[in-house]
Amino acid sequence: MKKLERLQKILAQAGIASRRKCEELILSGKVEVNGVPVTTLGAKADPQEDVITVDGKPIESEVKLYIMLNKPKGVITSASDPQGRKIVSDFLTGIQQRLYPIGRLDYDTEGLLLLTNDGEFANLLTHPKHHVPKTYLATVNGVPHGDKLEQLRKGIELEDGMTSPAEVEYQDVQADHKESTIRITIYEGRNRQVRRMFDAIDHPVTRLKRVKFGELGLQNLKRGGWRPLTPKEIAELRAEAAKAEGSSRHVVSDKPAKKPEWKPKPKPKHLSEENKKGKPEAAGRKPARQKQAAKPVGSRSRDSYAKSVLSPIIAEGEKRSAAEARQQRSTSQGGKLQGSKPQGSKTLGRTGAASTERKPRNDQQPQAGKGRGSSQRQASGGADRSGGRSSEWSSSRPGKGSSSQSSRRSHKVHK
């Protein structure tokens, strides 16, 4: 059974040219399969069974080569240059196979460059969906502040669109702060991308060097030197491309971000236990906000606080008002009853009748010369000899016609 592959891929893997150049050869009619010219880009063939020729010469399977070159500044990353400038293949002395670069470094950029005649391997490392990281040391004018580096980390708008987020950190800063070296890792392969990114933050690049391709480092390879990659390094690059396939870090979309599904927060243990005992809540529904319990009667609030402060004052005022009212009543009654005995009191007169009035407490005794006693003394026309006692506690002083016996009896009763 034939193993068919696209014709331009077969030519690129044979080391004829890059895949784009091979497409141009097919369209120009220079490629034949089994003696029949092929001018369709979608044509397929089996390299093991079919005879494929370019300009009448059959292609042969070449030994696959994988080269790492430390490209110097001022060299063109191309297999040929019509202007006669130095190209990277000029440094690959002793190699007969036709090699082409994996990706590009511009004229003024130096550092790590990979070359191969394995078109499949080259496409694996350069395809946009694989996003193999590439690390550079960029020497720029001035010292970019943190907010400007943060723009590079989030992605910055260029003429050809938004860049993917980059990894950026300070590598070195000169003492006079005229220049600084920034380590930056990108996941794309646009033309002069790093230089344009630093131009966008107003810190143009004065020197640019690529130091890593994936996990492969330049190490101690001298400028202009090259070496073949080891089988382990080739396998690591393939694994890096396979790992990054489909995991783009650059997301450009006009659609709004999807709102995350709401999930209720976990409740404390003591609340969850109470809910288990009570009525269970509906699944997926936000728990209702519980109403605050009514404050107990004795809780401290503005009203209770006002009452606690004002109650003693109000009670004291009421006592004073009651005392003044009693005093006014006693005064008014004393004025009306001048010369008569107080109501409810019984004293011994000439008949010798005993008084039955109840003796009050000491704190309720009216002062001497006031109230009912004063009115009685005024009525009797004599001074109270009881030493300040109220008239309620002593009998009225008898008049001139009273006997001493009745006075002594009244005194004994009230003792």
Residue type, 407: S
Cross-strand bridge partners of residue 68: 114, 227
Helix (H) or strand (E) holding 348: none
Catalytic residue flag (residue 106) = yes
112's tokens: 């790590």
Apex 303 CA angle, 300 and 305, nearest 5? 50
Cα–Cα distance between 276 and 263 in angstroms, integer? 19
Exposure string (b/e) for 273-301, b if CB count within 10 Å is 16 or more?
eeeeeeeeeeeeeeeeeeeeeeeeeeeee
Cross-strand bridge partners of residue 63: none
For tokens 């605050």, name the residue: 292
CA atoms within 13 A on the CB side of 368: 8
Q: Are strands 52-54 and 31-33 parallel, antiparallel or unpaired?
A: antiparallel
Q: Indicate which residue of 106, 147, 172, 254 is catalytic.
A: 106
Cα–Cα distance between 281 and 272 in angstroms, integer? 11
Cα–Cα distance between 174 and 405 in angstroms, integer? 130
Exposure string (b/e) for 206-231, b if CB count within 10 Å is 16 or more?
eebbbebbbebebeeeeeeebeebee
Q: Which residues are annotated as catalytic? A: 106
